[in-house]
Every structure is written in C-alpha cells, then in structure tokens.
Amino acid sequence: MTNPKIPEVNNVYGHIQAPQGLNVILHAVTPVVGEQRAFVHVSQFNGDEILRFASDVAEFESIPLEEPSRHLLNGCVAGSLDEVVAFVRALSGQLAQAAVEHRFEVYDSDQQLIQQLPR
C-alpha cells in the first residue's frame, strides 16, 4: 500500500505563539513528523526564523507575523478527512504538552472549514 499523495494546496491553517523561539515548536512536532524531518531556518536577510517540516504525509511551513513571537503555521496533509484531522490532532496534542499556544483549522478539498483544534 502506498501513502496518499500530499495535496497541492494547503488544507490546514494555523497560528502559534513562540515567545521562546521556534526551537520549542521544533522539539514539540518532532514526535509527530519524525527525526530529521523538521528544522528551523534563520533568514540571512532579516534574521526571521522559519519552521519547516515534512513527512511522507504532510508538509508545513511557518510565516513570522509582525507581532513578536507569533507565526502562521500552514500546510497540507494527505489522506481522508479523518486522517487529516487525526494528524492535526496529534500535532495539536504535542504543542499542548509543550504549553505552546496554538490554533488550527482543517479544511476539505472544497475549502470548507471542517474542524478547529484545539476545541
């Protein structure tokens, strides 16, 4: 059995608070995406931190906002809606364990809101 194809458009949109920097987020998401699948890139242009992670079923990237320590964290997850929600639920659970303030919205292929996490 092969893994489902990762969608070409985002189906998960979120935001995170990272007052201690994105390395806290990096360590929180590693159990969900696996070792060597997530990293923090620091821009040589302006010093902004960007979190990127990818697995066989998901790809995410953060976007720093003007408000200090606040980032968008958007991405796409492959699979059925139940599988997408399960992945985001696992991600949300790891962030909650790390005491990271966050919010995700999961959308279907018609860009209709399906679920918000955490509830």
Taking the model in full, what pTM does it have? 0.91
Q: Which pLDDT belongs to residue 48?
A: 86
**Spatial distance between the Cα atoms of 53 and 36, rounded to a whole number of angstroms:** 9
Q: Which pLDDT belongs to residue 26?
A: 93
**Spatial distance between the Cα atoms of 35 and 31, rounded to a whole number of angstroms:** 7
Q: Per residue of the chain (119 residues), what is the pLDDT tens digit? A: 466 889 999 999 999 999 999 999 999 999 998 877 889 998 888 888 999 999 889 999 999 998 889 999 999 999 999 999 999 999 999 999 999 999 999 999 999 999 999 98
